[in-house]
C-alpha cells in the first residue's frame, strides 16, 4: 500500500530522531524525574525506571511509530487505515481519538508549568535569588502561584511560542525544533553538567543516583516509575505516531526507536547529575518534591559563584525542553483537522491553540481563585490536578495498552512485516512477546492500582 503523503516529511532520519527526542525530552525529564527520584530514595528507583523504559517503553514506542509510518496520517486516520487493512473492529480507531484529546488536555496544564519556567528565567536573570533564603524562595514561588495575572501572562507567552512553531509547518517549524533547539539543549545541558561537576557535590549526587538501596523502594515507587516511563517517552497519545507519519520509508524503525529511548534516558540522568550536586552543595534535601526545581535550586544558584548566569541558563534549558514537547502535544489534532476538515494549517493552529489557551487559563486559576473548585465530577480535584490525573494516570496508560494489544494481536502480519522486516529474528520475537504479554500486564497493573489510589485518596 503506497500513498502520496498528505503532509510534509522530515528531511532525513536524524531530523525525525531529534524531533521525537524533542517531544520526549521535556518537563518530565528535567522537572519531574529529578524530584520523583529524590522522593523515592534515589538509586533503586532509577534502576526500576530504566527497566520500565526498556521493557515497556521501547516496545510500545516501536508499535506507535510503526502505526504512524504505516498510515502516514494523523493518529485518527492512521488508525483508520490500519483497522481497514487488518479487517478488525472500528472501535480500535478510538486509540487515535483518545490520543488527540489527551494531547490537547496535557498541553493545557503543561503550558502553565512551562510558564513558571519562563517566569523563573526572568526572575533569575534580574538577580531575585541572589542571597535568597529558603523562606524567600518559598515566598517567591507561592506569590507566583497566587497571582493569576503572572500565571496567565506566562502561559500566554508559552502558547504563542508553541503556535509559532506549529504555524511554520513540519519542515520549517517542527524541523527547526530538531535542527536548532535540540542541539542548543544538548550544549546547554553539557555546560550545566560541567558547572555542577566543578561547583557542586558531584560524587554525592552520583552515589545518590546509582547506589541501589532497595530498602527505600516501595510498591508505590514502582508504579510511579512505570507511569513516568510513559510520560517521559511521550507514549500512548499519538504524538510519536504523528511524528512517525512524517518519516521517510527507509525509516529503520528498530534502531530509530532505540536511539530516541536512549537519548531521552540519557538526558533525564544528566538532568539529575546537574541538579543534585547543586542541591547537595547547599545542604538542601533531594526529597522536597515538585518545589525542587523552583525552590531548592534557585536558592542554591543564588548562593553559588556564577549563579546568576548559570541559573538563568538552567531555566532557559527547561523552557526549551518544554517547548519542543509542547509542539508535539498539539500536532496530532492539527494534522487531523487539516486532513479531515480541510482546514489550512493556520486555521487548525488558531482553533486548537485558542481552545487550549482558554482551558489553560482555568488551569492557571486552579492555583488561586479556582483553588476550591473541586467538584465531584472532577473526582474532587481542581481543574489542573484533574487534567494531570486523567491524562497521565488514565489516558496515556490506556492508549499505550491498546496500542500494544493492537499491534501485538490485531495488526495484519504482512503490514507488520512490511514495516519492521523479518518477524522471526530473536529481537523481533522478543518485541512481539513484550507487546502481547509483558506490556498489557504491566500497564493494567499501573492502571488499576493508580485508579484505586486516586479514588481512595
Ligand atoms: N515527554 C514529555 C516530557 O517528558 O515532558 C511530555 C509529553 C510530551 C507527554 C508529548 C506526552 C506527549 F505526547
User: How many A from CA of 235 to the centre of ligand 1?
Assistant: 8
Find out whether 327 and 243 touch, Cβ atoms under 8 Å: no
Q: Would you state the cell numbers that stand for residue 356, as one nine-digit string?
A: 487550549
Atom of ligand 1 nearest to the CA of 24: 1
User: How many A from CA of 104 to the centre of ligand 1?
Assistant: 12
The per-residue pLDDT for 289 is 77
Find out whether 57 and 230 touch, Cβ atoms under 8 Å: yes
Q: Is the pLDDT of residue 450 over 90?
A: no
Q: Is the pLDDT of residue 442 over 50?
A: yes
Helix axes of 253-281 and 413-420: crossing angle, nearest 10 degrees: 70
Cα torsion through 189, 195, 201, 203, rounded to 10: 60
The per-residue pLDDT for 421 is 83
Confidence of residue 402 (pLDDT cuts 50, 70, 90): very high
Identify the residue whose cell numbers are 511554520. Answer: 168
C-alpha 190/C-alpha 457 separation (Å) is: 40
Q: Which of 113-117, 281-285, 416-420, 425-429 has the highest mean pLDDT?
A: 113-117
- pLDDT, one tens digit per residue, over 175-199 is 888 889 999 999 998 998 999 999 8
67: left (phi over 0), alpha (psi -120 to 50) or beta: alpha
Q: Please tell me whether residue 130 adopts helix, strand or coil conformation.
A: coil
- pLDDT, one tens digit per residue, over 113-155 is 999 999 999 999 999 999 888 889 889 999 999 999 999 999 9
Q: Is the CB of 326 under 6 A from ligand 1?
A: no
Least confident of 286-300, 348-362, 423-437: 286-300
Percent of the chain with pLDDT over 70: 98
Atom of ligand 1 nearest to the CA of 237: 13
Q: Is the CB of 234 under 6 A from ligand 1?
A: yes
Q: How many CB atoms lie within 10 A of CB 328?
A: 27
Q: Is the CB of 356 under 6 A from ligand 1?
A: no
Atom of ligand 1 nearest to the CA of 232: 4
End-to-end CA distance of the chain: 50
Averaged pLDDT for residues 27-48: 91
Find out whether 341 and 49 touch, Cβ atoms under 8 Å: no
Averaged pLDDT for residues 167-180: 88
Find out whether 251 and 13 touch, Cβ atoms under 8 Å: yes
The per-residue pLDDT for 150 is 98
Least confident of 59-63, 121-125, 423-427: 423-427
Q: Is the CB of 28 under 6 A from ligand 1?
A: yes
Spatial neighbors of 95 by CB under 8 A, at least 6 apart, are: 75, 79, 238, 399, 402, 403, 406
Q: Is the pLDDT of residue 379 over 60?
A: yes
Confidence of residue 301 (pLDDT cuts 50, 70, 90): confident
Is the Cα torsion angle 332, 443, 230, 68 positive or negative in sign?
negative
The per-residue pLDDT for 350 is 95
Backbone angles phi, psi at 422, to 5 degrees: -60, 125
Q: Is the CB of 23 under 6 A from ligand 1?
A: yes
Q: Which helix (H) or strand (E) holds 374?
A: none
**Nearest to residue 60, comparing CAs of 31, 13, 109, 24?**
24
User: How many A from CA of 254 to the centre of ligand 1?
Assistant: 21
Q: Is the CB of 121 under 6 A from ligand 1?
A: no
Averaged pLDDT for residues 204-221: 85
**Nearest to residue 315, comparing CAs of 177, 130, 117?**
117
User: How many A from CA of 120 to the centre of ligand 1?
Assistant: 21
C-alpha 295/C-alpha 407 separation (Å) is: 43
C-alpha 242/C-alpha 246 separation (Å) is: 7
- pLDDT, one tens digit per residue, over 68-93 is 999 999 999 999 999 999 999 999 99
Length of the chain: 457
Q: Is the pLDDT of residue 2 over 50?
A: no
CA 356-244-163 angle, 5° bins: 25
Q: Is the CB of 103 under 6 A from ligand 1?
A: yes
Please, what are the domains in the chain?
A: 13-456 (1.20.1740.10)
Averaged pLDDT for residues 150-164: 97
- Rounded mean pLDDT of the chain? 90
Spatial neighbors of 196 by CB under 8 A, at least 6 apart, are: 202, 205, 273, 274, 275, 277, 278
Confidence of residue 242 (pLDDT cuts 50, 70, 90): very high
Q: Is the pLDDT of residue 412 over 70?
A: yes
Confidence of residue 1 (pLDDT cuts 50, 70, 90): very low
The pTM (predicted TM-score) of the whole model is 0.91
The residue ranking higher by pLDDT, 1 or 58, is: 58
Buried b / exposed e along 210-226 (16+ C-beta atoms within 10 A): eeeeeeebeeebbbbbb
Q: Is the pLDDT of residue 5 over 80?
A: no
Cα torsion through 436, 437, 439, 441, rounded to 10: 140
C-alpha 50/C-alpha 95 separation (Å) is: 26
- pLDDT, one tens digit per residue, over 93-103 is 999 999 999 99
Which of 116, 174, 239, 393 has the most ligand 1 atoms within 8 A of CB, as the residue to mutate?
239
The per-residue pLDDT for 170 is 85
Confidence of residue 214 (pLDDT cuts 50, 70, 90): confident
Percent of the chain with pLDDT over 90: 62
Q: How many CB atoms lie within 10 A of CB 201?
A: 18
Spatial neighbors of 426 by CB under 8 A, at least 6 apart, are: none
- The residue contributing the CA closest to ligand 1 atom 13 is 234
Find out whether 337 and 344 touch, Cβ atoms under 8 Å: no
Amino acid at each position: 500500500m503506497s500513498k502520496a503523503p498528505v503532509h510534509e516529511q522530515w528531511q532525513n532520519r536524524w531530523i525525525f530522531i531529534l524531533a521525537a527526542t524533542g517531544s520526549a525530552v521535556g518537563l518530565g525529564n528535567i522537572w519531574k524525574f529529578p524530584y520523583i527520584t529524590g522522593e523515592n530514595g534515589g538509586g533503586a528507583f532509577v534502576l526500576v525506571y530504566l527497566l520500565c523504559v526498556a521493557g515497556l517503553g521501547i516496545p510500545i514506542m516501536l508499535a506507535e511509530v510503526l502505526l504512524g509510518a504505516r498510515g502516514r496520517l494523523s493518529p485518527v486516520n492512521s488508525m483508520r487505515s490500519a483497522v481497514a487493512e487488518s479487517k478488525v473492529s472500528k472501535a480500535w480507531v478510538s486509540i487515535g481519538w483518545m490520543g488527540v484529546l489527551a494531547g490537547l488536555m496535557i498541553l493545557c496544564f503543561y503550558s502553565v508549568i512551562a510558564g513558571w519556567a519562563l517566569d523563573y528565567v526572568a526572575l533569575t536573570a534580574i538577580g531575585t535569588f541572589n542571597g535568597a533564603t529558603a523562606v524567600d524562595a518559598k515566598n517567591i514561588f507561592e506569590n507566583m502561584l497566587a497571582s493569576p495575572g503572572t500565571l496567565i501572562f506566562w502561559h500566554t507567552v508559552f502558547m504563542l511560542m508553541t503556535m509559532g512553531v506549529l504555524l511554520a509547518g513540519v519542515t520549517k517549524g517542527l524541523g527547526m525544533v530538531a535542527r536548532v533547539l535540540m542541539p542548543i539543549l544538548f550544549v546547554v545541558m553539557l555546560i550545566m553538567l560541567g558547572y555542577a561537576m566543578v561547583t557542586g557535590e558531584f560524587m554525592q549526587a552520583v552515589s545518590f543516583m546509582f547506589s541501589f538501596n532497595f530498602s527505600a523502594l516501595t510498591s508505590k515507587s514502582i508504579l510511579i516509575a512505570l507511569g513516568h516511563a510513559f510520560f517521559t517517552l511521550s507514549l500512548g497519545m499519538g504524538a510519536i505516531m504523528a511524528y512517525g507519519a512524517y518519516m521517510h520509508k527507509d525509516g529503520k524503525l528498530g534502531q530509530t526507536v532505540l536511539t530516541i529511548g536512549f537519548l531521552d534516558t540519557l538526558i533525564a540522568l544528566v538532568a539529575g547529575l546537574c541538579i543534585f550536586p547543586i542541591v547537595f552543595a547547599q545542604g538542601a534535601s533531594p526529597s522536597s518534591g515538585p518545589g525542587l526545581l523552583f525552590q531548592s535550586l534557585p536558592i542554591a544558584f543564588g548562593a553559588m559563584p556564577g549563579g546568576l548566569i548559570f541559573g538563568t541558563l538552567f531555566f532557559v534549558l527547561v523552557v526549551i525542553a518544554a517547548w519542543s514537547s509542547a509542539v508535539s502535544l498539539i500536532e496530532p489534532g492539527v494534522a487531523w483537522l487539516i486532513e479531515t476538515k480541510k482546514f489550512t494549517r493556520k486555521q487548525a493552529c488558531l482553533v486548537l491553540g485558542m481552545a487550549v489557551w482558554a482551558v489553560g487559563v482555568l488551569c492557571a486559576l486552579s492555583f488561586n481563585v479556582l483553588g476550591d473548585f473541586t467538584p465531584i465530577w472532577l473526582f474532587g480535584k481542581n481543574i489542573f490536578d484533574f487534567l494531570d490525573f486523567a491524562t497521565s494516570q488514565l489516558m496515556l496508560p490506556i492508549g499505550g495498552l491498546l496500542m500494544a494489544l493492537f499491534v501485538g494481536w490485531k495488526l495484519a502480519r504482512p503490514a507488520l512485516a512490511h514495516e519492521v522486516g523479518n518477524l522471526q529474528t530473536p529481537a523481533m520475537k522478543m518485541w512481539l512477546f513484550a507487546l502481547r504479554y509483558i506490556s498489557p500486564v504491566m500497564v493494567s497493573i499501573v492502571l488499576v492500582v493508580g485508579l484505586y489510589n486516586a479514588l481512595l485518596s
